[in-house]
Amino acid sequence: MNNRKTRIIEAVLFRSEKPIEEKDLQGFLAEEDRLLDILHGLQKDYAERGVHLVRRGTAWGFITATDIRDALVLESDVPRALSRAAMETLAIIAYYQPITRLEIEEIRGVGLARTTLDQLLDAGWVTPAGHRPVPGRPTLWATTNGFLHHFNLSSLHDLPMRNELKEAGLISGSTQGDLFSYSSEE
């Protein structure tokens, strides 16, 4: 059996959130390829693993192995749109971290609601990163690995350069205070 074809079918099945019809899976193969042989081979390969390949009617998909299902607690994320203030705050933290709340407010030019940072904390995108060694010891904020993962970044070096953002019309000005001022065309 062709390993590449097996890997393609396996990847298609893993990527799908729901079972896929055999006719749709066959579309990834040449007409002469024997889809059922590939599926039965995958089914056998996964028989002793934490997920099983199962057939439901004429559709195939992966499910959690029944003997371990009760050991798993499934949580689902409910996507929420971030407010404009939260997006601006996240961008500032990403580019200037570690940064204090006061410094964020100075860059944005407006006060920062506690709920804005709470929203970013709840999303797992920012975290306290120590304290600035000045009177009052304000909390420093930084992005997390969850931020990198969510935005598909390997590191902070993958963030667009400020001049790229300016050329794209997403920011204006060149000083820190107006870095995140939006163009009047919004």
Predicted confidence at residue 101, as pLDDT, reads 93
Residue 7 phi/psi, 5° resolution? -65, -35
Please state which architecture CATH assigns to domain 84-178: Orthogonal Bundle (1.10)
- C-alpha angle 19-20-22 in degrees, rounded to nearest 5: 130
Is 131:138 a contact under the CB 8 Å cutoff? yes
pLDDT digits (tens, 9 = 90+) for 74-94: 666 666 688 888 999 999 999
Q: Cα dist. 73→51, 54, 123 in Å?
A: 15, 21, 19
For the chain, the domains span: 3-71, 84-178
Q: How far is the C-alpha of 62 from the C-alpha of 19, rounded, in Å?
A: 8
182 or 92, which is more confident: 92
User: Which top CATH class is 3-71?
Assistant: mainly alpha
What's the chain's length in residues?
186
Predicted confidence at residue 185, as pLDDT, reads 32
Segment 99-121 mean pLDDT = 91
Q: How far is the C-alpha of 6 from the C-alpha of 36, rounded, in Å?
A: 11
Bridge partners of 140, per DSSP, are 100
Residue with tokens 């002793």: 48
Predicted confidence at residue 150, as pLDDT, reads 84
Q: How far is the C-alpha of 182 from the C-alpha of 17, rounded, in Å?
A: 38
Share above pLDDT 70 across residues of the chain, in percent, rounded to a whole number: 85
User: Long-range contact list for 141-150, CB < 8 A, 24+ apart?
Assistant: 141/93, 141/97, 141/98, 141/99, 141/100, 141/101, 141/104, 141/117, 142/93, 142/97, 142/98, 142/99, 143/90, 143/93, 143/94, 143/97, 147/90, 147/94, 150/123, 150/125
pLDDT digits (tens, 9 = 90+) for 6-45: 999 999 999 998 899 999 999 999 888 899 999 999 999 9
Pairing of β 59-64 and β 99-100: unpaired
Pairing of β 20-21 and β 59-64: antiparallel
pLDDT digits (tens, 9 = 90+) for 122-139: 989 999 999 999 999 999
Predicted confidence at residue 75, as pLDDT, reads 64
Q: Is 90 left (phi over 0), alpha (psi -120 to 50) or beta?
A: alpha
Same CATH fold, 84-178 and 3-71? yes
Mean pLDDT, the chain, as a whole number?
84
Q: Is 164 helix (H, G, I), strand (E, B) or coil?
A: helix
Predicted confidence at residue 62, as pLDDT, reads 93
Q: Is the pLDDT of residue 142 over 80?
A: yes
Predicted confidence at residue 171, as pLDDT, reads 66
Q: How far is CA 65 from the centre of its chain?
A: 26
